[in-house]
């Protein structure tokens, strides 16, 4: 499988990454080079093999459902590029 310019524009949109038009063509080539290389996985028979989702055999731990952190709006918003009081500021989203 390989990607074309429209596919690259589409996945850049999905990933919310602005890609300048002159970067589209080189990105097509780079991605195809990588995709072509990973295609060798197609050689392997994987019928009946379960995907590995956890390398360590352990059950996810349970804990009490209680608030352990929070109530510190100052710390949470301290790194915001734009804030007002305890709020993050973004361009208008509702007309």
Q: State the nearest-atom distance from the C-beta of 79 to other proteins, in Å.
A: 4
Give the residues lining the site for other proteins (CB under 8 A): 1, 3, 7-8, 11-20, 27, 30-31, 33-35, 37-42, 44, 46, 49-56, 58, 60-61, 63, 72, 75-82, 88, 90-93
Q: State the nearest-atom distance from the C-beta of 61 to other proteins, in Å.
A: 5
In SS3 terms, 10-59 reads as: HHHHHCCCCCCHHHHHHHHHHHHHHHHHHHHHHHCCCCCCCCCCCCCCCC
């Amino acid at each position: 499988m390989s990607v074309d310019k429209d596919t690259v524009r589409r996945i850049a949109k999905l990933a919310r990454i602005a890609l300048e038009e002159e970067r589209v063509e080189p990105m097509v080539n780079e991605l195809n080079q990588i995709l072509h290389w990973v295609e060798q996985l197609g050689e392997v028979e994987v019928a009946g093999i379960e995907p590995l989702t956890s390398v360590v055999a352990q059950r996810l731990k349970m804990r009490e459902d209680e608030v352990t952190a929070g109530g510190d709006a100052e710390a949470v918003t301290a790194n915001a590029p734009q804030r007002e009081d305890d709020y993050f500021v973004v361009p208008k989203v509702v007309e």
